[in-house]
Amino acid sequence: MEGLSTELINLLFQLMPGFLAAWVLYGFTAYPKPSQFERILQALIFSFLIKALLPIEKFFLVWVGNYFLIGLWDNDAQIFVTTITGLLFGLVTCYFANNDKFYAFARKCKLTKRKAYPSEWFGAFSEQITYVVLHLTDNRRIYGWPEQWPSEPKNGHFVLSNAVWLNKDDTEIVLVVEEKIMIAAEAVEMVEFVK
């Protein structure tokens, strides 16, 4: 039993950079967390990719060590380098998950027609940086700058600044609020992006 726990701890140390990268990815993006099995599978893939980078990093660091004393390449150095690589891998993955650059390149190469965003809803808000008109379920409309918006259409809240209510004839009723107003997403029937 003791050997099993030592093997399990060693396995966790080997997979930790991948779990760290996945943790960073889901911590900094609006993507919904997949099932536990999918997260473990993703962490295994990330761990494999990070371990594949290790010989290149080792070669580079040993080469730099010929000119500047950084330390010895041992097990502790390997754990440190894979941890840093896991964090950087997660951050780079976040960067491409939060914009459409990688998918834009893939679309140019005719590899996909998809976009990088977790939903069309989130993609519309990420690409349309403009004032919006929220059409509420009670037939009222509010116009403002979306500082925050929910990642899903029915959960969360909109935070609007410079907001005004709109009458049916498009005249504005200035809000008494000083800075921002928060509207529940479930109260929004439609979102209009203003040119």
Q: Which of 91, 88, 75, 87 is nearest to 13 (CA)?
A: 75
Residues of the chain with pLDDT under 50: none
Which are the contacts of 132, defined by CB distance < 8 A and separation ≥ 6? 143, 144, 145, 146, 160, 191, 192, 193, 194
- H or E element in which residue 141 lies: strand 141-148
Q: What is the mean pLDDT of the chain?
A: 86
Quick one: pLDDT at residue 47? Answer: 93
Over residues 85-135, the pLDDT tens digits come to 999 999 999 998 888 888 888 889 999 888 888 777 778 888 878 899 999
What ranges in the chain are assigned the alpha helix state H? 2-27, 36-65, 75-97, 101-108, 120-127
In degrees, rounded to 5, the angle at the alpha carbon of residue 99 between the alpha carbons of residues 95 and 100 is 125
3 state SS of 184? strand
What is the Cα–Cα distance from 82 to 20, expressed in whole angstroms? 10
Domains of the chain, with CATH numbers?
2-108 (no CATH), 120-193 (2.30.30.100)
Model pLDDT, residue 91? 95
pTM: 0.72
